């Protein structure tokens, strides 16, 4: 049963989280007593894992806060906001690269999956994301003390097929079975819906670190039916940061004559400074930006909220168009929307709230933490998929495909076969024939998008229908079935109807990894996992050694030390030196052996110390009936330390 736990993961542009929904006393969460759905914190106690991956000096992968430190000192050894690169080709990200310090591999071909330099190696975006997912998986496993193998992962509602597939691949690489990809705004509605079950129409405005989504849902007796969704997968808090950085860079060049762009680590510090200012301006009227520059120069600037709002207004305005489009697609007026929910860190900005409340002419809901609500919703969906509970038994999510699916027709135009905002799973069947005598294959180009011309839509895949029996032109009748599954991912199958033969389809995703590539990456990660495991063992062994040595230091100062015989004392001294020598090596097994020996040799000392302690505190009581506790709480001064 414990192995069946399904966690919910919000794989964000800026921060990632893992959450779980379940009940039982063992899951009581200190921060949310009685709550059945909660965030699983990391080792450092923090709910948010920054979506940053870095290599330390020993080429070990770091994720989260540790990686963020590296980003500040050696930006070339860290990657952040990798979500922006998921499922995209080199031509898509040219603009992006001007603002982000991604170092792409030099030999990339158009249409190839991106690879990013990190240390001596290059990694694809799904591999980088897999590192973040693996960290979240570890956090969950640490919390439960049991393996976690299945997850629901959220994606922006407006993610296309390639971006979804890339996210699913990342899960597989991280050793997670991805039971479902859920759209972020829809997940948020589940988290909100859990608390107050009521019917009506809600709009979810989700403005995150790198993406913007808006979804309009109809809630009816536990059914969450998405009516329309819209968004921009490249619009988020990152854009606000980049704008502030650009302004500051100009400012610094003008006032101080320093070209900051020549110093990547200073740019990173500037990025942190503007982010701090941006956050401060959500609760204060002004904020300071202070930055140490090369040659001992100092940049100082006060930004008032008014200046800030003037600067970012155009970015905030860009979110309103998708809102209006979603309303139009849903065939609803603003008055027909009963509630508006705000999701994503960028909705903390007062200007954003004002604009949304202005557009929808009502107060927006912000009761749930906008950083956590998506992960909580993912956990609710995970609970539904795992078989449900009393709380979720009536809940069912009916989502839609955000973009129309089409095929390229003669003249390079798009023929739509599944329209946007169709409830998924959705399907369409199309018939094709040949144009030339004896033609044995037909090429099909699958597209996603709303534009009239194929070249303006997103190319999903090109494939050849092969093995068509030679027949006169126009005679074969090939039936191709397109199916979008509940994850929003496309599947294609084909059949030649006159001969009844299954036509062979080789779908080559335009910007995706092949199954084989993903398999190789999984193997790769296993290799690394082994090295990671060894490193971890070593760290743990050294920690344990530190603990016993500290305890021994205390023991030597205790009066019990004098009660040991000279030979006992000599043995302890000798084994202590041996352990200290072993700690200098990387042989964790050797360290463990020395720890055990020292433990054995100090047993008598520990007993004497315990007797003294218990005797002093509980004079007259019988040892047998005294509860001395267990584990680290027990009065064994030199016991084995516990490590999780």
Partner 1 sequence: MRAEHFCGECGHVQPAEPTDFFSFFGLPRKLQLDESALEREFYTLSRKLHPDVYSRASAREQAWSLEKTSQLNDAYRTLKDAISRTEYLLQLEGIQLGEQSKTATEQARASGVEKRQTVPAELLEESFELNMLLEEAKMGDVDNNLRSQLIATRAGLTARLKTMQDELYAAWKQWDGGDSKATALMVDVLNRRGYLRNLVRDIDAVLK
Beta carbon nearer to partner 1, 45 or 435: 435
C-alpha closest to that of 124 among 166, 168, 172: 166
Q: How far is the CB of 223 from partner 1 (least distance, A)?
A: 5
Does 426 bind partner 1 (CB under 8 A)? Our answer is yes
Residue 233 Cβ vs partner 1, minimum distance, rounded to whole Å: 24
Nearest to 311 by CA among 303, 319, 320: 303
- Which among 404, 418, 419, 412 has a CA at the least distance from the CA of 454? 412
- Describe the strand order of the beta sheet including 501-502 as a list of residue ranges: 426-432, 478-484, 490-496, 501-502
Structure tokens at 68: 């963020």
CB of 492 to partner 1, least distance (A): 13
**Residue 433 buriedness (CB in 10 A; 0-12 / 13-18 / 19+):** middle
Query: What are the tokens at 283?
Result: 């609760």
Look up residue 219 and give its two tokens.
Answer: 């809630």
Q: How far is the CB of 348 from partner 1 (least distance, A)?
A: 32
The stretch among 124-132, 349-357, 419-427, 539-547 that binds partner 1 (CB under 8 A) is 419-427
CB atoms < 10 A from the CB of 622, how many?
A: 7
CB 273 within 8 A of CB 249: no
Instruction: Find the binder of partner 1 among 427, 528, 537, 569 (CB under 8 A).
Output: 427
Scanning residues 187 to 226, which ones bind partner 1 (CB under 8 A)? 220-221, 223
Residue 140 tokens, joined: 């969950």
Nearer to partner 1 among residue 171 and residue 236 (C-beta): 171
State the nearest-atom distance from the C-beta of 129 to partner 1, in Å.
Answer: 23
The one-character DSSP state at 213 is E
State the nearest-atom distance from the C-beta of 626 to partner 1, in Å: 49
Pick the catalytic residue: 127, 161, 169, 184?
184
Residue with smaller CB distance to partner 1, 217 or 397 = 397
Distance of CA 417 to the CA centre of its chain: 32
Cβ-based nearer residue to partner 1, 422 or 569: 422
Residue span binding partner 1 (CB under 8 A) among the ranges 52-60, 192-200, 404-412, 604-612: 404-412
Question: Active-site residue 530, yes or no?
Answer: no
Tell me the three state secondary structure of residue 429: strand
Among 82, 326, 330, 407, binds partner 1 (CB under 8 A): 407
Among the listed ranges 21-29, 297-305, 483-491, 527-535, the one in contact with partner 1 (CB under 8 A) is 483-491
SS3 314: helix
The residue among 218 and 640 lying less far from partner 1, judged by its C-beta, is 218
- The count of C-alpha atoms lying within 13 angstroms of the C-alpha of 143, restricted to the half-sphere facing its C-beta, is 26
Q: Which of 169, 206, 372, 582 is catalytic?
A: 206
Position 486 contacts partner 1 (CB under 8 A): yes
Catalytic residue among 83, 137, 168, 355: 83
Phi-psi sector, 87: left (phi>0), alpha (psi -120 to 50), beta? left
Angle at 508 between CA 504 and CA 513, to 5 degrees: 130
Binding mask 383-402 for partner 1 (x = CB under 8 A): -xxxx--------xxx----
Is residue 180 close enough to count as binding partner 1 by CB under 8 A?
Answer: yes
Measure Cα distances from 457 to 113, 401, 638 in Å. Answer: 18, 15, 68
Q: Is residue 10 annotated as a catalytic residue, yes or no?
A: yes
Q: Does 453 bind partner 1 (CB under 8 A)?
A: no
Which ranges of 217-369 does DSSP label H, i.e. alpha helix?
237-256, 264-280, 305-317, 320-329, 350-360
CB closer to partner 1, 415 vs 623: 415
Q: Bridge-partner residues for 464, per DSSP? A: 443, 506
- Compare residues 392 and 602 and give the one whose CB is closer to partner 1: 392
In the complex, minimum distance from the CB of residue 75 to partner 1, in angstroms, rounded to a whole number: 41
Q: What are phi and psi of 408, to 5 degrees?
A: -75, 125
CB of 525 to partner 1, least distance (A): 25
416 binds partner 1 (CB under 8 A): yes
Indicate the length of the chain as a whole number.
644
Number of residues forming the site for partner 1 (CB under 8 A): 33
Cα–Cα distance for residue pair 347/426, rounded to 1 Å: 32
Residues that bind partner 1 (CB under 8 A): 179-180, 220-221, 223, 384-387, 396-398, 407, 409-411, 413-417, 422-428, 430, 483-486
Residue numbers annotated as active site? 10, 83, 184, 206
């Amino acid at each position: 049963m414990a192995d069946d736990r399904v966690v919910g993961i919000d794989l964000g542009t800026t921060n990632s989280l893992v959450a779980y929904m379940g009940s039982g006393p063992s899951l009581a969460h200190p921060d949310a007593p009685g709550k059945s759905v909660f965030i699983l914190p990391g080792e450092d106690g923090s709910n948010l894992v920054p979506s940053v991956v870095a290599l330390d000096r020993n080429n070990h992968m770091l994720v989260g806060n540790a990686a963020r430190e590296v980003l500040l000192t050696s930006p070339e050894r860290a990657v952040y906001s990798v979500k922006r690169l998921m499922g995209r080709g080199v031509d898509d990200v040219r603009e992006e690269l001007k603002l982000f310090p991604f170092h792409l591999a030099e030999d990339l071909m158009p249409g190839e999956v991106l690879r990013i330099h990190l240390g001596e190696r290059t990694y694809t975006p799904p591999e980088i994301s897999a590192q973040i997912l693996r960290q979240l998986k570890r956090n969950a496993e640490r919390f439960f003390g049991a393996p976690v193998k299945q997850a629901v992962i959220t994606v922006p509602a407006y993610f296309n097929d390639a971006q979804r597939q890339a996210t699913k691949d990342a899960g597989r690489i991280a050793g997670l079975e991805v039971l479902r990809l859920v759209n972020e705004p829809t997940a948020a509605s589940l988290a909100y819906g859990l608390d107050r079950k009521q019917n009506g129409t809600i709009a979810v405005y989700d403005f995150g670190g790198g993406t913007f989504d808006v979804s309009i849902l109809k809630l009816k007796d536990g059914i969450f039916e998405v009516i329309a969704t819209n968004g921009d997968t490249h619009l988020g808090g990152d854009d606000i940061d980049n704008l502030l950085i650009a302004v500051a860079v100009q400012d610094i060049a003008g006032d101080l004559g320093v070209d900051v762009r020549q110093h990547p680590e200073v740019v990173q510090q500037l990025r942190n400074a503007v982010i701090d200012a941006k956050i401060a301006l959500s609760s204060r009227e002004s904020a300071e930006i202070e930055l140490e520059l090369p040659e001992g120069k100092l940049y100082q600037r006060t930004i008032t909220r008014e200046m800030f709002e003037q600067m970012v207004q155009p970015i905030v305005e860009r979110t309103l168009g998708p809102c209006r489009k979603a309303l139009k697609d849903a065939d609803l007026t603003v008055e027909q929307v009963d509630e508006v929910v705000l999701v994503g860190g960028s909705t903390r900005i007062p200007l954003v709230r004002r604009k949304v409340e202005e557009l929808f002419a009502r107060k927006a809901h912000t009761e749930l933490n906008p950083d956590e609500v998506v992960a909580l919703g993912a956990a609710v969906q995970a609970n539904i998929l795992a078989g449900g509970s009393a709380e979720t038994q009536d809940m069912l999510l009916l989502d839609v495909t955000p973009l129309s699916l089409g095929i390229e027709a003669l003249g390079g135009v798009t023929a739509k076969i599944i329209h946007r905002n169709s409830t998924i799973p959705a399907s369409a069947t199309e018939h094709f024939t040949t144009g030339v005598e004896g033609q044995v294959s037909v090429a099909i180009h699958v597209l996603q998008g709303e534009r009239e011309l194929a070249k303006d839509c997103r190319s999903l895949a090109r494939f050849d229908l092969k093995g068509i029996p030679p027949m006169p032109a126009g005679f074969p009748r090939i039936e191709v079935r397109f199916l979008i599954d509940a994850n929003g991912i496309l599947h294609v199958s084909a059949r030649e109807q006159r001969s009844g033969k299954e036509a062979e389809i080789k779908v080559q995703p335009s910007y995706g990894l092949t199954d084989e590539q993903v398999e190789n990456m999984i193997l790769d990660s296993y290799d690394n996992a082994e090295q990671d495991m060894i490193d971890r063992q070593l760290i743990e062994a050294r920690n344990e050694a530190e603990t016993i040595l500290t305890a021994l230091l205390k023991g030597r100062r205790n009066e019990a030390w004098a009660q040991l015989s000279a030979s006992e004392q000599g043995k302890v001294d000798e084994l202590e030196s041996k352990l200290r020598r072993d700690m200098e090596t990387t042989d964790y097994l050797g360290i463990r052996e020395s720890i055990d020996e020292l433990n054995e040799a100090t047993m008598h000392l520990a007993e004497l110390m315990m007797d003294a302690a218990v005797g002093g505190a509980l004079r007259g009581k019988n040892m047998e009936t005294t509860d001395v506790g267990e584990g680290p709480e027990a009065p064994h001064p030199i016991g084995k330390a516990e490590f999780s």
